[in-house]
Amino acid sequence: MGFELKILGANSAIPTATRNTTSQLISINQSHYLIDCGEGTQIQMRKYRVKMQRIKTIFISHLHGDHFFGLIGLLNTMHLLGRQNELSIFCPPGLREIINLQLKVADSRLNFEIKFEELEFNNGQNHIYSDNIADVYTIPLDHRIPCNGFLFVEKPKNRRIKKELIDKLKIPIEQLPKIKEGADFHREDGRVFQNEEITLPPRKSYSYAFCSDTRYNDRIVPFIENVDLLYHEATFTEAFRERAQQTYHSTARDAATIAEKAKVGKLIIGHYSARYKNFDQHLEEAREVFANTELALDGHTFSSRDL
Ligand SMILES: [Zn+2]
C-alpha cells in the first residue's frame, strides 16, 4: 500500500445531512494519521470503514469546534473497544485541559495513555514529528485564532533489488537489507556487483500539505513548495470575497493562487460554507487559476495513483 488520503469531512462550521465537519485520514504504508476531528468523525470512520484503533497519531490544527469537537467521543470509543496502545495528539495548548476536564467530570479513565504534544505558534515552520515512515512539519496559517497546517513528507524509500538476480547471483538473504540501502554486493568468490547494476531506483516518496483554516497569505508558499498534494481551505466563492477576509477564510481562487505559486502537483479544496448546495462554482473559479484542482468530498480518497 502506498500513500492515501481519505476525506472524512469537508464542510465548515455546520454539518449537513451529507457533509461532515473537518477530518482527514492519511495512510502511508500502513501507518495511519488523523488530521482534525470535527464532531461525528467517529461515525464517518464507521461509514467509510476506517479501522480507528490503527491510528497512531492525531494532529489538531486549531481549537475551533468544527476541527476538534469529535475528539472526546473518538477517544471514548477507542477505550471501550479495548485500545491499549499509546496515542499521541499534536495540538494547540488548551486541548489537554479540555479533554482531561471532560474525562474528570465523567469520572472516566482511559485504558491507554494520551501523549499531548502542545505546539508553538510562530511565523516559521517547525519539525514536530518523525517515525520510520514520515516527517511532519507545521505550516503557519493566518486565522482568527492560532492555527497550524501540517506538512507530511514521506521518508525516502529503499532501492529495489532486481528479483531475478537474487537466485542468479546467489545473493544471501542476510545481505538484502544492506543492498536495499545502497551497498554493493561482495560475493564470496571475490566478485563485486555495483549497487546500480543489481537494484532499481526507489519508488517515489510523496508529500502532502494540509492547510486548514486560513485567509489568503502567500507567506506559506515557501513552506509547501512542490508538494505532490495540497489541501487548502476554500470556504467561499468570489461572490463572498469580503466575507472571506472578515472571517479569516479563503475563496476557491485564493486556494488556487497558493497552489499555483507553490507549484504543487494537485490541489484539493474544501471546508465549504454550509450556504452552498453544490461546489461547481468553487471548482470553476479554482480551475481558472490552477487546472489540476479537485473537490474534497466526504468519503473520497486520493491515492498515489491519482498523483
Ligand atoms: Zn477555524
Q: Which residues are catalytic?
A: 66
Mean pLDDT of all residues in the chain? Answer: 94
Helices (H), the chain: 41-47, 71-80, 95-105, 163-168, 176-180, 195-198, 221-224, 241-246, 252-262, 280-289
Please tell me whether 282 is known to bind a ligand.
Answer: no
Q: What is the grid cell recorded at 238?
A: 468570489
CA of 241 to the centre of ligand 1 (A): 17
- Report the separation in Å between the CA atom of 248 and the middle of ligand 1, taken as the mean of its atom positions: 8
Separation of CA 236 from chain center: 22
d(CA 64, ligand 1 centre) in Å:
5
Q: What is the pLDDT of residue 35?
A: 98
pLDDT along the chain (307 residues), means of 10: 90 86 94 96 95 95 96 96 96 96 93 94 91 95 95 94 90 91 91 93 94 95 97 96 94 97 97 90 97 96 89
SS3 185: strand
- Alpha-carbon span 29 to 32, nearest angstrom: 8
* CB-CB contact of 14 with 40 (8 Å): no
All 3 cell numbers of residue 187?
560475493
Secondary-structure breakdown of the chain: helix, strand, coil percentages, each rounded to the nearest 5: 30, 30, 40
Cβ atoms of residues 152 and 123 within 8 Å: no
Distance from residue 29's CA to the centre of ligand 1 (Å) = 30
Q: Rounded distance, CA 153 to CA 139, Å?
A: 13
131 is in an annotated binding site: no
Interval between CA 206 and ligand 1 midpoint (Å): 27
- 3-state DSSP call for residue 4? strand
The residues near 168 (Cβ < 8 Å, ≥ 6 apart) are none
Establish whether 62 is an annotated binding residue.
Answer: yes
- Residue 32 counted as an annotated binding residue: no
* E strands present in the chain: 3-9, 23-28, 31-35, 55-59, 87-91, 114-118, 127-130, 134-140, 148-154, 160-161, 185-186, 192-193, 199-200, 207-211, 229-233, 266-270, 293-295, 301-303
Distance 40 CA to ligand 1 centre (A): 17
pLDDT score, position 12 = 85
User: Strands 229-233, 266-270: parallel, antiparallel or unpaired by DSSP?
Assistant: parallel
Q: What pLDDT is recorded for position 7? A: 97
**Domains in the chain: ranges and CATH:** 3-155+204-306 (3.60.15.10), 160-200 (no CATH)
**Was 143 annotated as part of a binding site?**
yes
- Cα–Cα dist 275/246, whole Å: 17
Q: pLDDT tens across 209-229, in order? A: 999 999 999 999 999 999 999
For residues 182 and 198, give the distance between their C-alpha atoms in angstroms, rounded to a whole number: 10
What is the spatial distance between Cα 26 and Cα 209, in angstroms, rounded to a whole number? 11
Residue 127 counted as an annotated binding residue: no
- The three cell numbers locating residue 202: 526507489
pLDDT per position as a tens digit, 44-83 = 999 999 999 999 999 999 999 999 999 999 999 999 999 9
What cell does 35 get? 488530521
Q: Return the ∠ at Cα 175 (arms to 184 and 202), rounded to 5°.
A: 60
- Alpha-carbon gap, residue 2 to 202, rounded angstroms: 13
H or E, element range at 25: strand 23-28
Cell, residue 55:
491510528
- Report whether 64 belongs to an annotated binding site: yes
What is the pLDDT, as a whole number, of residue 1? Answer: 59
Residue 241: Cβ within 10 Å count? 15
Give distance in angstroms: CA of 117 to centre of ligand 1: 20
Ligand 1: centre distance to CA 143 (Å): 7
